[in-house]
Each structure stands twice: as C-alpha cells, then as structure tokens.
Amino acid sequence: MKNELVFPENATNEERQVKWQEIAEIVDSDFGFNTPRAKNDKVKYNVRLLIQRGDNLICVVKSEKYGYMQLPGGGIENCESIMDALRREAREETGFLINDIRPVGYIVEKREDIRNSHDWNQAISFVFSALSGKEVGINYTEDEIAEGFKPMWIKLEDFIVEQEKNEGKKESYSGCFSNKRDLEIAKFFKSLMLQ
C-alpha cells in the first residue's frame, strides 16, 4: 500500500516537488514482532545515500565492533532541509563532499512494537545517489567512534549479498529494520541501474 509522503518541516519547495517513488514499507510483522505499543504520530526523518565512485563501487559504513555494514545517512535535524542533511551526513560518515546528487526514492519504517525504544513510531528515509567528490575527512560521533565505524568501498552486488545473509538474523530490534531498509534500498537502486 502506497503511503502518503509527509515531509520534514524545513523541506524546500524543490524537495517537495520531486516525484518521490516509494521503495518499500517495512513493518514489525516482517520480522515476526507482534506486541504493539501505544501509537503516536511522531515521525523521524532521515536521509540515506548511495555514494558511487568511478570504479562502480559504493561507499558503506562498517562497524568494526559488530561487523555489520550500512548505507551512510542519518537523521534530518530540525533546522535542516533534506539536502542540507544529506550533504552533512555524507561528509560526516564517509569523509566526502558529493556531487551529481539524484533522488532515488523514499522508504517507510513502521516500528510500532514495544521493542521500539524511540519516541517515534515511524521513520521516513529520503534516499539519494551521488558521486564522491573531494575527500574532507570523517567526523563521527562518540558512539560511532566507540563502535569502530569506518567508511569502505564495496560492489553493490556484494553489499546486497551481505545484507541478505543478515536479513532477519539481527539480534536487535533496530538492527532488523536497519538491515532490511538498506537491503531494500540497494536492491531498488540495482533495479534502476539495470533499466
């Protein structure tokens, strides 16, 4: 079922006028979670990014501590437009400025189980592709440093295989959603590249 796309407060008119395509909707039942908590209307807005370079590799962020990989991205802050958040997250998590930015679509996560420790029940991630530009250095948070985050380059197909191996096997509630989110984004992007 197609969701009506709701935008963050500081989204620009240009961002709102993009013909955003829904990539997927991820829900608790995808993982067998069925203990609903009280619903709320709070939405967390994020950006996710497929950064490519000339050799057809994409940049992902790897946790050395836990061994998982994820697409670069994160939350849109209150004062930011979608593009401002995208550029900031790309710089912070991969160390690159980006160019040739193109909207890919959006993905919805409905985390309505009591296992959700956040104060929001729904997350919307705006997904983009871009080319890597000038390298300016990473800027990880303390939590990311403690987890041993580091950017790495990988073939899109290899990233998909890795995410498929982990699908539904994550020990954390949040990890199940994050893994499936990035898998769905990567598969969707691959399908666009084949068109």
Q: In the chain, what are the domains?
A: 17-27+35-193 (3.90.79.10)
Quote the strand ranges of the chain, DSSP E: 22-27, 43-52, 57-63, 69-70, 73-75, 96-110, 122-135, 149-155
pLDDT surpassing 90 at residue 190:
yes
* pLDDT tens readout for residues 32-46: 999 999 888 899 999
Question: What does the pLDDT look like over 116-170, one tens digit per residue?
Answer: 999 999 999 999 999 999 999 898 889 888 989 999 999 999 999 999 988 766 6
Task: Answer whether 180's CB lies under 8 Å from 26's CB.
Answer: yes
- The pLDDT of residue 10: 96
Q: Which tokens go with 74?
A: 């994160």
Q: Has residue 172 got a pLDDT over 80?
A: yes
The mean predicted confidence, pLDDT, of the chain is 92
Nearest by Cα to 181 from 116, 138, 126:
126
Return the pLDDT at 136: 93
Task: Provide mean pLDDT across the span 42-64.
Answer: 93
pLDDT at site 55: 81
CB 101 within 8 A of CB 83: yes
Position 169 scores a pLDDT of 67
The pLDDT, as a whole number, for residue 194 is: 81
**How far is the CA of 89 from the CAs of 26, 27, 37, 59, in angstroms?**
23, 25, 31, 13
- pLDDT value at 2 more than 70: no
Count the Cβ atoms, other than its own, within 10 Å of residue 121: 20
Indicate whether this model's pTM tops 0.75.
Answer: yes
Tell me what pLDDT residue 168 has. Answer: 67
Residue 182 carries which side chain, given as an amino acid letter? Answer: D
Inform me whether the pLDDT recorded for 195 exceeds 80: no
| Percent over 90 (pLDDT), the chain | 76
